[in-house]
Structure formats: C-alpha cells, structure tokens
C-alpha cells in the first residue's frame, strides 16, 4: 500500500549529526571524486580522441574503437589473457579450497599453519616475481633441481613459449592465501548439524561434501571466480618483470599491451578505448555469470 504521510523534516540534532558526518567523510568524498570518478570520466572522453599526453587531445569519434578490430597484437594479448585465465583461475580456486578444507581441521598449531599459508599472498608482486625467476630457472632453479632428483628433465619454463603461461599459472597458485581465507570463513559457517544429519542418514564423506558443504560454499566460489576473472585482466607486474611479454609474445597479456600503448607508444586515447572495451566485456561476463548461476547458488536462508 502506498503511504500519504508527509516526509518528516530533520530535527536540529539530526541535522547536526548529518553535518558532522558529511564533514568527517568529506576527505574521502573529495578523494573519490578526484582520483576515481574524474579519471574514469576523463578516460571515457580520451577514448574518442587521439591523445599523446604531450599534446592536447583531438576528437576523432569512434576511430580508436574501430581500430581495435584490426590490431593483431591486441588479438594476441587477448588470446594469451584468456588462456591464462583458463589455466590460473580454476587451479587457484581448487588449491585455495583444498587448503581451506585442510586448515578447517581441529589440530594443534593451526593458527601457525594458517599464517604460513596466507603470508605469500601479502608479498609484493615484484618481489614474488624475482623469487620465482630463481625457482623457475631452467638450469639451476629449485623446481628443475627437484624434478631432476626424481629422474625428470624439467622444461625451459619461462624460456619456452609452450611452458611460459603454465609457469605463470603455477606461480599464481602461490598467492591464493586471500581466497583461502574467504573459503575458510565460508567452511566455518556451514551448519555442523546438517553435516551430522547427513552422516546419520548414511551419507559418506563425499556425499556430505557434495550435498551439504558445496551448496553453502557456492557463493564464495562464485565470488572467487568473478574476482579471478577481473584480476586476470589486470595481471601485469609479474609478467612484466619475469618475461617482458616473451618469449615470442607468449606472455604478452592485455594489461601489458595497454601499458605499452599508453606509456611507451604514447597512444593514450587508443589505450583508453582498449580499457573501456574490455571493461564493458568484463561487466557483461560478470552479469552473465551471476545470471546463469542463480539457480545453482545457495544463500543461507533462501
């Protein structure tokens, strides 16, 4: 039913609280407008211009967007990014979920193990890239040395176009501590009484996991998949430090190519068009993932 009650005006004390609240949040609001909203709107305008940063922008309409369809290097970068997403995102989710399951057990020194598994996720990207350059070195790296100890001749990893993307995907698993914490929190929210009821009904461990644990974890898995997809589109620092896009452009990802256009070729307008195009595609894919998975996702209380 619609209500015809008049809108109540704020009292003097409520106005005072509102004023103080706005004053306290004013620095954050100004920062949001200056460092987020303005750059976003400016990049949208520059995407319709030829802009070298060194000279004023010149409006050219949709020329930058039409040029995207004829850029072979962009096609290579998008293909590499897509393949890397197929490799790294499912692998990272599976490893993070398994680690969270192990860390959800009641054993001694569990806080220590949780801290140790989470620490790699807070290591800066450049530092982890330098570390993995040593681990993946084909001649004296730790990984190939360990493989040689069991009689396996390791590949060239980052020096081999066929193994470069799998090597980076393997490296990305090292930093799944953030997802692990999210999954661990979700596992601790799974109702124990439902798991016990399933066991009393004769369900085994696998059946209990599939019919009780997995439905409650489905929102967390969907969140990880969406964030992983978005994160792959901005995967930049590690391949830039470790491979520079090589060998033979096998690790040239979208974020690297966007950076090159903006700050090496000084084609800022074209780079903005790239960013907006991929941003719209990511928004559509995110919407599609939420829409297509709605009937398979269980939210507690639904």
**pTM passes above 0.75:** yes
Say what the pLDDT of residue 86 is. Answer: 95
DSSP assignment string, 222-289: HHHHHHHHHHHHT--HHHHHHTTT-STTTT--HHHHHHHHHHTS--HHHHHHHHHHHHHHHHHHHHHH
Say what the pLDDT of residue 133 is. Answer: 94
49-82 per-residue burial string, b: 16 or more CB within 10 A, e: under 16? bbbeeeeebeeeeeebeebeeeeeebebbbebbe
Is omega for the bond preceding 211 within 30 degrees of 0, making it cis?
A: no
Say what the pLDDT of residue 6 is. Answer: 62
> Model confidence over 153-180: pLDDT tens digits?
999 999 999 999 999 999 999 989 999 9
Question: Domains of the chain: which residue ranges?
Answer: 12-64, 70-296
Residues of the chain with pLDDT under 70: 1-8, 300-302
Sign of the CA dihedral running 241, 243, 246, 249: negative
Protein fold of 70-296:
MetI-like fold (1.10.3720)
């Amino acid at each position: 039913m619609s209500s015809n009650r008049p809108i109540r005006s704020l009292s003097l004390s409520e106005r005072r609280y509102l004023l103080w609240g706005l004053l306290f949040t004013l620095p954050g609001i100004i920062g949001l407008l200056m460092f987020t909203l303005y750059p976003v709107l400016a990049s949208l305008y520059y995407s319709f211009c030829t802009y070298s940063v060194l000279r004023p922008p010149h409006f050219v309409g949709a020329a930058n967007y039409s040029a995207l369809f004829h850029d072979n290097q962009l096609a290579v970068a998008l293909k590499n990014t897509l393949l890397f997403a197929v490799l790294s995102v499912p692998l990272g989710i599976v490893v993070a979920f398994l680690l969270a399951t192990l860390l959800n057990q009641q054993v001694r020194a569990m806080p220590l193990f949780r801290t140790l598994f989470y620490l790699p996720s807070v290591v800066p990207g450049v530092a982890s890239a330098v570390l993995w350059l040593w681990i993946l070195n084909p001649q004296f790296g730790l990984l190939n040395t360990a493989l040689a100890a069991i009689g396996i001749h390791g590949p060239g990893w980052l020096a081999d176009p066929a193994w470069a993307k799998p090597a980076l995907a393997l490296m990305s698993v090292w930093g799944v501590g953030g997802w692990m914490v999210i999954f661990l929190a979700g596992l601790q929210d799974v109702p124990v009484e439902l798991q016990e009821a399933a066991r009393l009904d004769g369900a085994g461990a696998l059946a209990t996991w599939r019919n009780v644990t997995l439905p409650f974890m489905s929102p967390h898995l969907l969140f990880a998949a969406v964030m992983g997809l978005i994160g792959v589109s901005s995967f930049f620092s590690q391949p830039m430090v470790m491979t520079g896009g090589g060998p033979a452009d096998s690790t040239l990802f979208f974020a690297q190519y966007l950076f090159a256009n903006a700050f090496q070729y000084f084609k800022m307008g074209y780079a903005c068009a790239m960013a907006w195009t991929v941003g719209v595609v990511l928004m559509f894919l995110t919407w599609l993932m939420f829409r297509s998975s709605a009937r398979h996702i269980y939210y507690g209380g639904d």
